[in-house]
């Protein structure tokens, strides 16, 4: 069975600080995808990134960066120079991708990020 | 290009009643998945529809049922509502052969009293 753990329930930072959101996953599949979503108070899930299990390159997109480490089953998300607009709940998710696998998204419990001005 | 739409936005029902939620997928998508998100938790997979059939199902009782129409839109039905069914219900659409690009709708907030 697949499982995603986000141990940080809530994080509060002051604007312009860097912040890292942790994600640890479990799966028996050798082929899988990992995701990060942002959920603002409006409730809609906003897609941020997708990585497949064969691509361990870290990725940077503007102020966002992601660190994927298969050896520790982690897919952490860093926001550099945080802004008030980054305040939201962030979810890490996993989808198994081998033939015959379930393919639905399994989400972690989310991390509430609050950026104070 | 319209994204995923859901209706209604909010709904209040009484225990024991039945409810129907609706979802229209993004243009070009043929697969609809439903998720339940209880307060303070991550979304949990309910089921997925493709070609008007339920293809996958999560750990939800038979009180939760669905339907997909020829135009790919979908309904989620919940019978005999319980207080614990109060949640945000999210619909996600994708293409069946590209399942890892799921787009989510704004959700329907269901409150059971």
Confidence of residue A104 (pLDDT cuts 50, 70, 90): confident
- Give per-residue pLDDT as tens, A33-61: 999 999 998 888 999 999 989 888 888 88
Instruction: Measure CB to CB from residue A107 to each of B43, B103, B106 and give the nearest one.
Output: B43
Report the distance separating Cα B88 and Cα A109, nearest Å: 14
Count of alpha carbons within 13 angstroms of residue A25, beta-carbon side = 29
Average pLDDT over residues B49-57: 93
Q: What is the pLDDT of residue B41?
A: 95
- Give per-residue pLDDT as tens, B59-99: 999 999 999 999 999 999 999 999 999 999 999 999 888 87
Q: Which two tokens stand for residue A38?
A: 């942002």
Residue A21: pLDDT over 80 = yes
In chain A, what percentage of residues exceed pLDDT 90?
75
Interface A-B: count of C-beta contacts within 8 A: 53
- Among chain A, residues having any CB pair with chain B shorter than 8 Å are 4, 33, 37, 42-45, 47, 50, 52, 91, 93, 95, 97, 102-110
Q: What is the pLDDT of residue A55?
A: 85
Residue A100: pLDDT over 70 = no
**What HEC string does A20-81 produce?**
EECCEEECCCCCEEEEEEEECCCCCCEEEEEEECCCCCCEEECCEEEEEEHHHCEEEEEECC
Instruction: Measure CB to CB from residue A104 to each of B48, B105, B107 and give the nearest one.
Output: B48
Report the distance separating Cα B7 and Cα A70, nearest Å: 40
Q: Which two tokens stand for residue B80?
A: 């005999």
In chain B, what percentage of residues exceed pLDDT 90?
89
Confidence of residue A101 (pLDDT cuts 50, 70, 90): low
Give the burial class of A49: count Cβ atoms within 10 A of its Cβ; 0-12 exposed, 13-18 middle, 19 or more buried.
Answer: middle
What is the overall mean pLDDT for chain A? 92
| A105 min Cα distance to partner chain B (Å) | 7
Residue B100: pLDDT over 90 = no
Confidence of residue A102 (pLDDT cuts 50, 70, 90): low
Average pLDDT over residues B26-54: 95
Nearest CA to A90 among A35, A38, A15? A38
């Amino acid at each position: 069975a697949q499982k995603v753990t986000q141990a940080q329930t809530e994080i509060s930072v002051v604007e312009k600080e860097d912040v890292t959101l942790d994600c640890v996953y479990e799966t028996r599949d050798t082929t899988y995808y990992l995701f990060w979503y942002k959920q603002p108070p409006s409730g809609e899930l906003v897609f941020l990134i997708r990585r497949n299990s064969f691509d361990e390159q870290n990725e940077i997109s503007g102020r966002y960066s992601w660190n994927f480490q298969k050896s520790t089953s982690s897919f952490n998300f860093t926001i550099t120079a945080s802004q008030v607009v980054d305040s939201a709940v962030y979810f890490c998710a996993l989808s198994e991708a081998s033939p015959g696998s379930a393919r639905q998204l399994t989400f972690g419990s989310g991390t509430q990020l609050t950026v104070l001005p | 290009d319209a994204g995923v739409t859901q209706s209604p936005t909010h709904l209040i029902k009484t225990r024991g009643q039945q409810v129907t939620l609706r979802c229209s997928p993004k243009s070009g998508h043929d697969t609809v998945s439903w998720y339940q998100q209880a307060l303070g938790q991550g979304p949990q997979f309910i089921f997925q529809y493709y070609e008007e059939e339920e293809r996958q199902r999560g750990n939800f009782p038979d009180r939760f049922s669905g339907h997909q129409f020829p135009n790919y839109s979908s309904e989620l039905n919940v019978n005999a509502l319980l207080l614990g069914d109060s949640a945000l219900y999210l619909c996600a659409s994708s293409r069946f052969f590209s399942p890892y690009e799921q787009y989510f709708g704004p959700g329907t907030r269901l409150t059971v009293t």
